[in-house]
Amino acid sequence: MNSYLTATDARTLAAGLQTLPGMRVLSALADDALDLVLMTATLDIDNAMRFQGRKYDPDQEREFPRVPRGQTPNQFGSAISDPIPYPSPLGRIEVWDWDPANDVPIVPQKVLIAVLFQAAWLMQPQYAQRLEDIRSGLAAQAIRTSHEMNIKSGEAAAGGFSGLGDRAQRIMDFYRLKTGRSH
C-alpha cells in the first residue's frame, strides 16, 4: 500500500506549516514512524466520505486522482475547477488535476495537505484517544472543550462521522459528494 505522501514530501510540505499543532512532531519522526502515520492518515482520508467523480483509473489503489463521474472518451462535463481533457488509458477524458510537465494525473495539493493535517492530528494523543472513543461508541455526548468541538464538527458533517481532524475535514469537504452516486 502506498500513502499519498512520502516521509520526505511530508517534511517538505510541513516546513512551511511549523506553527500549526503537530507539524514539528511529525518532522522529527524517523522515516519508518512517519511513513506509518502518513499511511494511517491516507487511509483516514480515503475512507472519510464519498467523493465527487470516480477514480481516474478504476484499478488505482487510492481514491485520488479523480475524474468526473460517467466520463467516457471524448465526453466532457462539468467539474470542480477548470479541467482540461488529457489522454488517459480510457482515451481523452476530463481530468481535474493534471501535471502537464510529466503528462500524468496527480493527487490534488489540497488532498496532500489534508493528509499532513490528519497525520499531525493523529500525533496528538488527546485527539487520537477521543477519535477511538467516538469510533468505539464510548464518547460522551456533551461537548466540554474546544478540542472536543473540533472532533464533533467532523462527526456532524453530512454523511456522519468522518474520523478526520477539523483541518483535514474542512479541506476534504471540497471533494465530498453532495448528491448522486460516487462510483
pLDDT in tens, 159-173: 455 678 888 988 898
Backbone angles phi, psi at 113, to 5 degrees: -65, -40
The whole-chain average pLDDT of the chain stands at: 76
Q: What is the mean pLDDT of residues 29-54?
A: 94
Question: To the nearest whole percent, how much of the chain has pLDDT over 70?
Answer: 66
When comparing pLDDT for 173 and 144, which is higher? 173
How much is the pLDDT for 10? Answer: 96
Q: How far is CA 46 from CA 2, 49, 61, in A?
A: 12, 7, 10
pLDDT, tens digit, 9 for 90 and up, residues 77-100: 333 333 444 454 445 556 778 888
How much is the pLDDT for 2? Answer: 93
When comparing pLDDT for 145 and 20, which is higher? 20
- Check pLDDT > 50 for residue 72: no
Residue 54, class by beta-carbon neighbours within 10 Å (0-12 exposed, 13-18 middle, 19+ buried)? middle
Q: What is the DSSP letter of 51?
A: B
- Check pLDDT > 60 for residue 136: yes
- Check pLDDT > 60 for residue 146: no
How much is the pLDDT for 137? Answer: 64
How much is the pLDDT for 95? Answer: 73
Do 77 and 68 form a contact (C-beta atoms < 8 A)? yes
Separation of alpha carbons 128 and 148, rounded Å: 11
Do 42 and 29 form a contact (C-beta atoms < 8 A)? no
How much is the pLDDT for 83? Answer: 45
